[in-house]
Amino acid sequence: MRAAVAGEPETDFPRSAQRSLPIRKGPIVTGFFEKRTFSVQYVVADPETKRCAIIDPVLDFDPKSGATATPSADALLKYIDREGYTLEWILDTHPHADHFSAAGYLNDRTGVPTAIGAKVVDVQKLWKEIYNLPPSFPTDGSQWHRLFSDGERFKIGNMDVEVLFTPGHTLASIAYVTGDAAFIHDTLFMPDGGTARADFPGGSASALWTSIQRILALPDETRLFTGHDYCPGDRKPLWESTVAQQKAENIHVIKAITEEEFVALREKRDRELPMPKLILQSLQVNIRGGRLPEPESSGKRYLKIPLDALEGAPWDE
């Protein structure tokens, strides 16, 4: 179904935060940098059919006021409309811990199906207990239209897409590989940013090591698109690298040659990191497929913050 956005006010991202990458051997990839959470959203298009998918869309949230908004997600739809694309999929790589997913909102706007990795059911069970959600809360992944298994294939237009199970950062993390492009979420950052943390509930530095090796086994010329960029040294946002570049330059990959070395490095670093500011807010939205909790008797929606649920995490200085 084509995204319909005619007649809406312009809220496009500035040019500095939106770049179309040239067609090589695979899809047209456009990244949208969301500066509040340092997240990168993607529109991935088949140049032959002009059919596309959205990967890791952001629902805007202001934790100080509790306000939600949709300019980040709306900018994706405006871009799709402007380019004459037809939206086929709304995809998440994992239940995010630092921003709300806009998958539910985009599905309501377009009717296009949503999807995520099948292991999301394990994340739902884990966080259902942390939030003490009622027994009626489903932990079967039914909040999405499709759950992808490891190695499963689907299409965006005429492009084959393969799903790779890449846990470690979360229990449910997956990557999407199509042509010469791989969308690797928070497993590897840009080479000067290293690798993702693995200390969230259900995370594992050892599993992350295995997932990194799986990604680095892709052809050297494979373009890798990361889920965040924290702009080390105050450089401009970047989100595309290659397998060859990661193997040669990633500050954690070149420093930790063995699994044992990597686990020690990653766990030491994780012990020093405060939890993401929105982890307790975002997980209760993202295990619902990017949908906010249902309104209560007042007509308002409420987020539930469990106290002392993540004991031992460092505090912000």
Number of compact structural domains in the chain: 1
Buried b vs exposed e over 230-244: b needs ≥16 C-beta within 10 Å?
ebeeeeebbbbbbbe
Write the burial class of residue 260 (CB in 10 Å: 0-12 exposed, 13-18 middle, 19+ buried). exposed
> Is 287 within a domain?
no
Nearest to 128 by CA among 306, 295, 296: 306
Domain-embedded: residue 6: no
Instruction: Report the amino acid identity of residue 192.
Output: D
Residue 299 lies in a domain: no
CB-CB contact of 93 with 173 (8 Å): yes
Does residue 5 sit within a domain? no
CA dihedral 7, 10, 15, 17 (to 10 degrees): -100
The pLDDT value given to residue 25 = 60
Single-letter residue type at 198: A
CA–chain centroid gap for 159, Å, is 21
177 lies in some domain:
yes
Q: What is the pLDDT of residue 248?
A: 98
Q: Is there a domain that residue 4 lies in?
A: no
Helix (H, G, I), strand (E, B) or coil at 110: helix
Domain containing residue 135: CATH number: 3.60.15.10
User: To which H or E segment does residue 174 belong?
Assistant: strand 174-178
Query: What pLDDT score was predicted for residue 13?
Result: 39
pLDDT per residue, tens digit, the chain (317 aa), is: 444 333 333 334 343 344 444 434 689 999 999 999 999 999 999 999 999 999 999 999 999 999 999 999 999 999 999 999 999 999 999 999 999 999 999 999 999 999 999 999 999 999 999 999 999 999 999 999 999 999 999 999 999 999 999 999 999 999 999 999 999 999 999 999 999 999 999 999 999 999 999 999 999 999 999 999 999 999 999 999 999 999 999 999 999 999 999 999 999 999 999 999 999 999 999 999 999 999 999 999 999 999 999 988 899 87
pLDDT value at residue 128: 97
Q: Give residue 261's region: left, alpha or beta (phi > 0; psi -120 to 50).
A: alpha
Give how far Cα 168 sits from Cα of 165, 199, 200, Å. 10, 9, 9
Write phi, then psi, for 118 (nearest 5 degrees): -65, -25
DSSP code of residue 77: H
Give the SS3 label for residue 190.
coil
What is the spatial distance between Cα 3 and Cα 95, in angstroms, rounded to a whole number?
Answer: 24
Q: Quick one: how many helices (H) and strands (E) in the chain?
A: 7, 16
Bridging pattern class, strands 146-148 and 114-117? parallel
Q: Is the residue at 302 inside a domain?
A: no
Domain, as residue range, for 143 = 18-276
* Predicted pLDDT at 312: 85
